[in-house]
Structure 1
Amino acid sequence: MFTVSQVQIEQWLALFLWPFLRIFGMLLTDPFYSSRSISATVRIALAILLAILVAPLLQPMPAVPVVSPIGIMIGINQLLIGLMIGFTARLMFTAVEMAGHLAGLQMGLSFATAYDPQHASQVPIVAQFLSLVTLLLFLALNGHLVMIRVVVDSFSQVPIDPQPLAAEGLRLLADRGATVFRLGMLLSLPVVGALLIANLAIGVMTRAAPQLNVFAVGFPLLLGIGLGALYLVLPYYPPYIDFMIGDLTRFLAQMLKALHR
């Protein structure tokens, strides 16, 4: 007669639940999988499927009951690791959106907003356009598959154990947030630089001809120059996004290594 003991049930539950929490945490914050166009049912089903596929490849689970203080702490750690992996990828998209905010502000399109289903809020049209372009490039460069590979590889870099996460990994993630402003400025610099030159030229024109209506001439001129600069910059986005994805994977490997010290 086939019998199953309580210990075996707890081992099977741990073998599935803890990897599921890490994978599901990544799906909750990843810029593609966390989109509102992907329902929660699909995310949960994908996390269950990945957990079932990954479970046989993992190291032996800690001999800790899932429903215990230590077991709950392990589950929280796994969820936190997944959230950190997805949030790091989200920072890349935030930098691009910041570049769109800065460019739109200088172009005079900061008031032109549209509903963004990914954020469920009104977003400046230039920022939304660059965010959609980045998302398409992210998918074209298999960034969504890279994130799955990273979270699967993380089980070998940060094994499931009762050991608490090292603070060094959390510090690296906090420092990574500072790069959003640097990358946002670098991405918007061509458009902002062209508009700065255009503003200086308009200032000289109004100084030489005071009767010139700066509002009637300046706004369409800045808008046209800004759109032209944005059009010229777009061909350089694919290699830059490819570089950002490579930099993202290198940082995630560094962060995961720091979490398990």
Structure 2
Amino acid sequence: MELLAYLTEGNVANFLLLLLRFAGIIAFFPFFENQLIIAQLKGALIFFLTIFFIPMLDVIPPADWTILRFIVAGLSEIMLGFLASMALQIVFGMISFGGELISFAMGLTIANAYDPVTGAQKPIVGQLLTLLALLVMLGLDYHHLFFYFVGESVKEIPLGGFMYAQNYIEYIVKSFSHLFVIGLTMSFPIIALILLSDIIFGMIMKAHPQFNLLAIGFPVKIAIAFAVLIVIVPAIILHFKREFLSAFDALTILFQKSF
């Protein structure tokens, strides 16, 4: 009987909107949108998160809600998860773009492998850097930061009342413009050395036409690129760590401008 008494129109509306909020966050946030995580597990996580956080909410007066308003409120909850994930996805885009440039410079663009995170084909160097970034992200207690963001969103942003912040949109546009610059910066040492090796091989072929570039030059370029990659990986990961924490700090703009 207590359960039936709790199933009022306001409580049901609260539950459904909160469920949509968590669905939007789980569907778009890095790591949780991994294709290897089965849909049943994601659905169970969304359901239990909703149950755990619903006591933090106030009951919505049922007279204030119409079908149209409820649909708009549900779309705003999904938009919250999408916009919040954009900043974090752009940081991973920097790593992926840098890895693709490195693979192109090494001549390994054709050597693609299945990426279990996105479910698409990626160059092996880009996939390696992305997996390293995921490990670093978990080492930074990303799962704790995720639940902190969920809790703060429930406390600071009323259900159905989310409105995007102009400052946050400007941050997303600026971050997207930096994606290519930072990706190129990460891959520049390898690209520069491979370009230098191409110049040297060209000079050798000019002096010795019998020099077989395909048999000797190609493996040497790959060896040089891997040697430099081993040296610069700590710097790439350190840069990723700084950009990732900065992107997570930017999510607080959503709480400040959502009312």
TM-score grouping bracket, smaller chain normalisation: 0.7 to 0.9
Equivalent residues in 2 for 1:219-230 (5 A)?
219-230=218-229
Report whether the alignment pairs 1:202 with 2:232. Answer: no
Map of 2:78 onto structure 1? 79
Amino acid at match of 1:82: G
Change (3 A) 1:154 1:234: same
Report whether the alignment pairs 1:144 with 2:143. Answer: yes
State the identity as a percent: 26
Equivalent residues in 2 for 1:22-37 (5 A)?
22-37=21-36
Q: Is the 8 A contact 2:114 2:120 kept in 1?
A: yes
Unmatched 5+ stretches in structure 1: none
CA distance in 2, matches of 1:139, 1:62: 40
Report whether the alignment pairs 1:218 with 2:217. Answer: yes
Deviations 1:20-53 (A, max 9, x none): 2112111111220111211111111111222222
CA distance in 2, matches of 1:94, 1:3: 46
Q: Is the 8 A contact 1:22 1:81 kept in 2?
A: yes
Report the Cα offset of residue 163 of structure 1: 6.4
Report the Cα offset of residue 107 of structure 1: 0.5
Amino acid at match of 1:206: M
Unmatched 5+ stretches in structure 2: none
CA distance in 2, matches of 1:62, 1:211: 85
- Alignment RMSD: 2.6
CA distance in 1, matches of 2:187, 2:212: 28
CA distance in 2, matches of 1:250, 1:3: 39
SS in 1 for 2:251: helix
Aligned residues: 259
Deviations 1:197-250 (A, max 9, x none): 222222332233333222222211110011111111123344333212211112
Change (3 A) 1:221 1:152: same
CA distance in 2, matches of 1:218, 1:181: 29
Change (3 A) 1:3 1:209: closer
CA distance in 1, matches of 2:124, 2:92: 15
Equivalent residues in 2 for 1:156-195 (5 A)?
156-162=155-161, 164-166=163-165, 169-195=168-194
CA distance in 1, matches of 2:90, 2:233: 20
Amino acid at match of 1:26: I
More off after superposition, 228-237 vs 208-217: 208-217
Map of 2:17 onto structure 1? 18
Report the Cα offset of residue 80 of structure 1: 0.8
Map of 1:107 onto structure 2? 106
Q: Is the 8 A contact 1:85 1:151 kept in 2?
A: no
SS in 2 for 1:181: helix
Amino acid at match of 1:181: F
Q: Is the 8 A contact 2:10 2:59 kept in 1?
A: no
CA distance in 2, matches of 1:255, 1:162: 12
SS in 1 for 2:114: strand
Map of 1:131 onto structure 2? 130
TM-score, length-normalised on structure 2?
0.87
Change (3 A) 1:62 1:100: farther
Report the Cα offset of residue 69 of structure 1: 0.8
Q: Is the 8 A contact 1:24 1:79 kept in 2?
A: yes
Q: Is the 8 A contact 1:27 1:86 kept in 2?
A: no
Q: Is the 8 A contact 1:103 1:192 kept in 2?
A: yes
Map of 1:39 onto structure 2? 38
